[in-house]
Amino acid sequence: MSTRVTSRTHLSLWFKFIIAFFGTVSLVTFGLVALVAGVALIDALPETSDKAYWFISRSSGVLAYLLLTFGVLWGLIQSSNFLRPIIPPLLALGLHSFLNWGGLVMGALHALILLGDNYIKMTLGDVVIPFIGPYQPLLVGLGIVGFYLMFLLASSFYARKWLGQKNFHNLHYASYPTYLLVTWHSLGVGTDSNTLWPLYAISLGAVALLTLWRVTMPAKA
């Protein structure tokens, strides 16, 4: 009996190690590819094609918003017992982490690619320090604050042991203001918000409905 238990424990440990290893490698690779791609784009796009920088910024911003939305929705699902019998907790956590960090990478590309735009003429300080830039400083600043909050929340998973379970859960209530700040930023700054309003409406509706569903579900054991 003890031999079987020991064998299962070893298999479980190896499974966790493999999932963690490949998850980490995937995240690092994803980040490096996005960073290299961003640098390459800045170097490759001609200065006369100013709109190209804006288009890349908008498309990466929309992708970042989608990943953020999916991250919030998956976090709400993961915090219940709904999928526990189907998806291993470690795999569910890995997907949540991937969505969060993927959104951060796309968010960074969304901001940094604008350094090559000769129309807005933003500096590095304008895209990393909130509310000081020349272009719609309030709305752009909200996006920068939202990005930092996303980074804080994504990083908190690695400090969970030191934060404690209660503090960790309390911290993650900040997901809601973070999501709303980024939504406000996207609606206000985007020149194509009139076209994308169905996306924002569906996102807001999905988060609201899933939140309502979540508060009626029993908490995780």
Could you give the CA distance from residue 206 to residue 215 in angstroms, rounded to a whole number? 14
Asked if residue 19 is part of any domain, the answer here is yes
Number of domains within the chain: 1
Asked if residue 65 is part of any domain, the answer here is yes
Determine contact, residues 113/41, Cβ cutoff 8 Å: yes
CA-CA-CA-CA dihedral for 51, 55, 61, 65, to nearest 10 = 140
Could you give the CA distance from residue 98 to residue 23 in angstroms, rounded to a whole number? 8
Output the pLDDT for position 221: 45
Tell me what the mean pLDDT of segment 26-53 comes to.
58
Domain that holds residue 141: 2-215
In the structure, what pLDDT confidence band is assigned to residue 46 with cuts at 50, 70 and 90?
low
Closest CA to 145 of 115, 101, 111, 195: 111
What is the chain's mean pLDDT, rounded? 78
Q: Name the maximum alpha-carbon separation found in the chain.
A: 73
Output the pLDDT for position 125: 92
List Cβ neighbours of 69 (8 Å cut-off, separation of 6 or more): 179, 203, 206, 207
Q: Which two tokens stand for residue 113?
A: 């690619």
Output the pLDDT for position 185: 93
Asked if residue 220 is part of any domain, the answer here is no
Residue 28, pLDDT above cutoff 50: yes
Could you read off the pLDDT of 150-183 as tens digits, one per residue? 999 988 888 888 888 888 888 888 999 999 999 9
Asked if residue 11 is part of any domain, the answer here is yes
End-to-end CA distance of the chain: 27
Closest CA to 146 of 109, 103, 112, 116: 103
Output the pTM of the full model.
0.75
Could you read off the pLDDT of 95-123 as tens digits, one per residue? 888 899 999 999 999 999 888 887 778 89
Asked if residue 67 is part of any domain, the answer here is yes
Asked if residue 33 is part of any domain, the answer here is yes
Asked if residue 221 is part of any domain, the answer here is no
